[in-house]
Amino acid sequence: MTPYRLKAKIDRGLALMIYALIVASALPLLFSPGWYFVAIHVLLIILTTDMLYGTHYTINDQYLILKGGVFYTLKIEITSVISIKPSRSIESAPAPSFDRLEITLKPNKKRVLVSPKDKELFIALLLERNPEIIVK
């Protein structure tokens, strides 16, 4: 089967809140003599942008690969997926939206949160590869 790369849904309110916090914390630094503090905040903005807009999910024959920017990759065997259900959890995850799916995995019922832009296609592709997945 062809591998599919699905974009993550991005919650604009979440992104705006993160950027506002970074910019607000940098404002006092503009009046300080240390340019390196401003450079750190610019780097934070670049990394945040990468995490928000660089998050995607690849589904191939065997694996669901979660990519959250440059620094986060998780490879999950599709046969280890037990269930998928909607979630609005605020836990940290490779999911830049609060409109999420919770994926439960074998053997220890570990949970992973994702926020695919097209949830129906995401679920259909996983079910195509593992029809035993329970969708709640």
Q: Hey, what domains does the chain have and what are their CATH numbers?
A: 4-135 (2.30.29.30)
At 33, the pLDDT band (50, 70, 90 cuts) reads: low
Quick one: average pLDDT of 88-97? 80
pLDDT tens-place string over residues 44-92: 888 888 988 889 999 999 999 999 888 889 999 999 999 999 998 877 7
Look up the pTM and report it. Answer: 0.81
**Cβ contact 54:104 at 8 Å:** no
